[in-house]
Chains A and B, each alone.
Chain A
Amino acid sequence: MTEQPRLAERNAAVLLPEPFVKWFGQKGWSPRAHQLDLLAKAQSGQSALLIAPTGAGKTLAGFLPSLTELANRPKRKPGEARRGIHTLYISPLKALAVDIERNLGKPVEEIGLPVTIETRTGDTPSHKRQRQKLVPPDILLTTPEQLALLIASNDARRFFEELRYVVLDELHSLVTSKRGHLLALGLARLRAFVPGLQTIGLSATVAEPDELRRWLVSQASPGAMSEIIVVTGGAKPEISILDSEERVPWAGHSARYATPEIYREIKRHKTTLLFVNTRSQAELLFQELWRVNEDTLPIALHHGSLDVAQRRRVEKAMGENALRAIVATSTLDLGIDWGDVDLVVHVGAPKGASRLAQRIGRANHRMDEPSKAILIPANRFEVLECRAALDANYLGAQDTPPLVNGGLDVLAQHVLGCACGAPFHADTLFNEVRTAAPYASLDRQTFDRVIDFVATGGYALRNYERYARIRQTKEGLWRVSNPGVAQQYRLNVGTIIEVPALNVRYVHAGSRGAASRGGRVLGKIEEAFLETLVHGDTFMFAGKILRFEGIRENECFVSNAPGSDAKVPYYGGGKFPLSTYLAEQVRAMLDDPQRWKKLPEQVADWLRFQADKSVLPKRDDLLIETFPRGNRYYLVAYPFEGRLAHQTLGMLLTRRLDRAGAKPVGFVATDYALAIWSLADMGWMFRNRKPSLATLFDQDMLGDDLEAWFADSWLLKRTFRNCALISGLIEKRHPGKEKSGRQVTVSTDLIYDVLRSHEPDHILLQATRTDAATGLLDVSRLAEMLSRIRGRIVHKKLEQISPLAVPIMLEIGKMPVHGEADETLLMDAATLVEEAMGPEMTE
């Protein structure tokens, strides 16, 4: 063995209190180098980022500084004041906090430490929360939203005054979202309460660790970074792509063809974790597996829409190793450690190399044993994507998204939260906010506009002074106008926007819910989906086939409909676009016939056919095919830039094609390609440069065309809704407190229309545009693509559809078609009426 373990032992003796050394000894373990390293840095007063693969003992490492300090703390004497929170642990998932309580409780008990550990989440009963305020635990395990709530209470400063450490788990996943922005602001507040506060970030491997290092410490001195410890290595995972005996479908996402093969693998392993990308895929796969489950193996389902009790049952069974397989979505993505999983099956393409690595880390939670995983591509393009992801994982490639500036809607929420806690001075708060990395470059003018927004809405028409939520005192302090404001704030805290959803409840078949209120709640389904159902329709949910009986108030009534065919529920969430890195890998693979040898024969054949009938795009080229079909002309482009960027591109191209007289009718976008169809022969138009493809794909489309389309897009309205909710402009819907009736709610779409026409520069519209450009529309990615392909567009004018075009052509009819004007549809419907009924009906 090398020098390192012995060195570590010596260090351990210095750094670790006696009972810890003994405990490690009893377990037959020795503390790992990175655990001691982190402890040493913490003991010297520094904040640190620990980057380590799963199974490296990250959690224990993160808590060692707290536990050792707490162990050395003198006992509280009778009559001495109660101590405040010593360590705050924050994780993105409630379940993770609960899991840590269990995992941490064990060593604490075995070492015999006088340390109290408690969780505080949205599920914590209010009496327990109140008690925690009076008698705080030493270690509090919680979520970003709960931290925001604690900060907004008027005893926050006192509650946190003895805080020493904040441990941030799964930091890589927290920082990329608005929850991360809220958390960063919360941390800044905590640092203001306790100047010597230390942070410990735990993260999986990321592309830009320095971003996280800055995130962990005050940016009062710009660019300051925490210490960093990187644990490399770990056994390489064994990943394979399913080489199916069945035909891999051209399109679709179900991977139904592979069910018997998946089942065979489940039988061969102890516990299999099956990851899918969307909840509807999870439902479908679960049904399919049970269809072939001749041995009635215990196979369970886990996704975010299921009832909490149901999810907890599955989690418990998993911990007890009572399950053979679990079909799960991203709710199980993060570092939750349950049971002995010895196989991960990933159904559908992973969409990002980092995500794949994370999910595979779930198998065999010990760093020195290789994880085992099988990828199941759902269609042919996914075969390419899986292959690329697999190569990337071996290369240790990382494609986590870059961090963006903090949202102004989140800042507005935080400002109100601060006022709810204690009156603040704008200068002080501005300086404090800028110590949070996401807001380091915030300018004072914008900050003042945010305060104005929080106070009176920030409108040019100053009509709401008398309704101000916060007001400035004579001393210049901002304070809440009345206690009702704080109450309202508490109900609306957080940045997670849930789409309106209804409880799904069992009733007897045939009853519309009026007679029996009876059965159990299975979970929640988006209202938008339920709206498309009529009485008697069947759909899959919670692993069952259900019949829709009706809706009453905020409940949807269903009955069992075993054996029927189901209409699969559509879920808005859970679809990730293909990462830039992976897209590049896929393009590289298409360009290199040598690499096709690693592909399943049928897929390689498909590419050879394409080379024969059309052409395969070079790595940095953009291939565009045009061909007639039926009475339409098609344009298929293959940018491989992900669904969002393609959707935006489709919107912009159809506008331009329309101006050029091509009469475009509609388009569909997938992660890989974009298809537009029109009434005029686009192939002929491009060949005769009317317009040329270079002109059509010119970057100037991101100017006026984008601006014009932006104005009216439903995507922007959806983004606006999120900003309006997060910023506190309108209230979230609260189950139980919901009043029915349109008079009490006002649609954010209408607010958007009115605001846009009267005050287009309003700060909330500004926030909306920024969000949409970075998130929904992937404008920056589109911009990169357009500049990459300049002078590299390859046009293939074909007489018929090419092999590569088949998958996206099959999506037409299955996916919503964009571009066709609502007015045209109305016209068609009205015409139908005239045809059917004669003109007198419309008079």
Chain B
Amino acid sequence: MNFSLSRATLIAEADLVGIAGERAVCDRRGVLYFPDLRLLAVSDLHLEKGSSFARRGALIPPYDTGATLLRLQAVIADYQPRIVVSLGDSFHDGGGAQRMHQSFREQLEAMMAGRDWFWVAGNHDPEAPADLPGETVKELAVGSLLFRHEPSKTRVEGEIAGHLHPCARIVQRGRSVRRRCFAGDGGRMIMPAFGAYTGSLNVLDRAYAGLFRLETLVAYMLGAERIFAISGSMLRPG
């Protein structure tokens, strides 16, 4: 198999970003990969969001879990990580894991097999997901990095968080483009939400107040083929 070749190509082509001294790939599909640690981080999967809505009477299509897992499977196949960190809100609610269709459960377990898998507790899923392998943690420290769901109020170098679902907006030649993004200032990184039904919140919203050094803030906007690194000064609210 030539998976190592494809992995090498991926990393060589992608932009490497520095976070508190660690090198990481901001993948355009919305995952963060640390080649030196062989660690893949993904945030806010919100699995079973569809059925969570259905439970309350909004019968939105039940295909979100399948769609999200399929995309996750693809990045895991590409990078073959040793460690996977799911940064919280992996399930849209506490009953999500139980509601998950058997076929999806099997699909998920297949990609978890043979690697360390951490479920970071999120506000939507504070408890461990029912009947699934993997270790549930409040937060996870790896080298100089700290993985947690909600970004801490005080500045923490090397913190990788989710929760806020960042997106960024630019205006070029009178047209506005809004995309999900990684938001980082070299010290901290907030990851985009990965789930198929997850919305997003502009990095200039007040929910992000105090999280970044504004002068070095960069939004890594997700493109169809690549990541676009846009400096904070070019971003627009809304």
A residues adjacent to B (C-beta < 8 A):
456-457, 459, 461, 463-464, 467, 469, 484-485, 488, 531-532, 534, 729-731, 742-743, 745-747, 750-751, 753-755, 757-759, 762, 813, 816-817, 820, 822-823, 825-830, 832-833, 836-837, 841-843
B218 close to A (CB within 8 Å): yes
Contact A817/B175 with A751-B197, A823-B224, A830-B228 known, Cβ cut-off 8 Å: yes
Q: Are B229 and A833 in contact (CB under 8 A)?
A: yes
Q: Which of A463, A467, A828, A833 is B101 in contact with, Cβ under 8 Å?
A: A463
Q: Are B174 and A461 in contact (CB under 8 A)?
A: no
Residues in B whose Cβ lies below 8 Å from that of A742: 165, 198-201
Residues in B whose Cβ lies below 8 Å from that of A750: 196-199
B238 close to A (CB within 8 Å): yes
A762 nearest CB across to chain B (Å): 7
Q: Are B201 and A841 in contact (CB under 8 A)?
A: no
A19 nearest CB across to chain B (Å): 53
Can you report 24 residue pairs joining A to B where beta carbons are below 8 Å apart? A457-B59, A457-B60, A457-B61, A459-B62, A461-B62, A463-B62, A464-B62, A467-B59, A746-B49, A747-B197, A747-B199, A750-B197, A750-B199, A753-B196, A755-B63, A816-B174, A822-B177, A825-B170, A826-B177, A829-B234, A832-B234, A836-B231, A841-B229, A843-B15
Bound CA–CA A567/B209 (angstroms):
29
A187 nearest CB across to chain B (Å): 28
B75 close to A (CB within 8 Å): no
Bound CA–CA A826/B175 (angstroms):
10
A56 nearest CB across to chain B (Å): 48
A815 nearest CB across to chain B (Å): 9
Q: Are A754 and B61 in contact (CB under 8 A)?
A: yes
Q: Which of A456, A828, A836 is B172 in contact with, Cβ under 8 Å?
A: A828
B124 close to A (CB within 8 Å): yes
A840 nearest CB across to chain B (Å): 10
Q: Are A842 and B15 in contact (CB under 8 A)?
A: yes
Bound CA–CA A743/B195 (angstroms):
12
Q: Are B199 and A829 in contact (CB under 8 A)?
A: no
- Give per-residue flags for B39-56: 1 if the beta carbon is below 8 A from chain A beta carbons, else 0: 000000000010101110
Residues in A whose Cβ lies below 8 Å from that of B173: 817, 820, 825, 828
Contact A842/B175 with A742-B198, A746-B49, A751-B197 known, Cβ cut-off 8 Å: no
B16 close to A (CB within 8 Å): yes
Bound CA–CA A816/B172 (angstroms):
12
Chain B interface bracket (under 10, 10 to 19, 20 to 34, 35 or more): 35 or more
Bound CA–CA A457/B179 (angstroms):
29
A750 nearest CB across to chain B (Å): 5
Q: Are A469 and B200 in contact (CB under 8 A)?
A: no
Bound CA–CA A758/B50 (angstroms):
14
A110 nearest CB across to chain B (Å): 51
Closest residue of chain B to A752, judged by CB?
B61
Q: Which of B49, B58, B197 is A729 in contact with, Cβ under 8 Å?
A: B58
Q: Which of A485, A758, A762, A830 is B230 in contact with, Cβ under 8 Å?
A: A830
3 interchain residue pairs of minimum CB distance: A531-B238, A457-B59, A742-B199
Give residues of chain B (9-64) contacting chain A, Cβ–Cβ below 8 Å.
Answer: 15-18, 49, 51, 53-55, 57-64
B148 nearest CB across to chain A (Å): 18
Q: Are A758 and B61 in contact (CB under 8 A)?
A: yes
Q: Are B237 and A758 in contact (CB under 8 A)?
A: no
Q: Are B62 and A484 in contact (CB under 8 A)?
A: no
Bound CA–CA A823/B28 (angstroms):
13
Closest residue of chain B to A463, judged by CB?
B62
Residues in A whose Cβ lies below 8 Å from that of B172: 825-826, 828-829
Bound CA–CA A843/B49 (angstroms):
35
Residue among A746, A820, A825, A832 with the highest chain B CB neighbour number at 10 A: A746
B87 close to A (CB within 8 Å): no
Bound CA–CA A830/B53 (angstroms):
38
Q: Are B197 and A746 in contact (CB under 8 A)?
A: yes
Give residues of chain B (183-212) contacting chain A, Cβ–Cβ below 8 Å.
Answer: 196-201
Residues in B whose Cβ lies below 8 Å from that of A837: 231
Residues in B whose Cβ lies below 8 Å from that of A817: 173-175
Q: Are A484 and B57 in contact (CB under 8 A)?
A: yes
B158 close to A (CB within 8 Å): no
Having A742-B165, A823-B225, A825-B173, one finds 14 other A-B pairs with CB under 8 Å, namely A457-B62, A461-B63, A461-B101, A463-B51, A463-B54, A484-B57, A531-B238, A750-B196, A816-B175, A817-B175, A826-B221, A829-B170, A829-B230, A833-B229
B217 nearest CB across to chain A (Å): 11
Contact A833/B57 with A463-B101, A820-B173 known, Cβ cut-off 8 Å: no
A749 nearest CB across to chain B (Å): 9
Residue among B59, B67, B165 with the highest chain A CB neighbour number at 10 A: B59
Closest residue of chain B to A764, judged by CB?
B61
A755 nearest CB across to chain B (Å): 5
A549 nearest CB across to chain B (Å): 14
Q: Are A731 and B224 in contact (CB under 8 A)?
A: no
Bound CA–CA A750/B124 (angstroms):
20
Residues in B whose Cβ lies below 8 Å from that of A816: 174-175
Bound CA–CA A740/B101 (angstroms):
30
Q: Are A464 and B54 in contact (CB under 8 A)?
A: yes
B14 nearest CB across to chain A (Å): 11
Closest residue of chain A to B232, judged by CB?
A833
Q: Are A531 and B124 in contact (CB under 8 A)?
A: no
Q: Which of A534, A754, A827 is B196 in contact with, Cβ under 8 Å?
A: A754
Closest residue of chain B to A464, judged by CB?
B54
Closest residue of chain B to A746, judged by CB?
B197
Residues in B whose Cβ lies below 8 Å from that of A758: 61, 63, 66-67
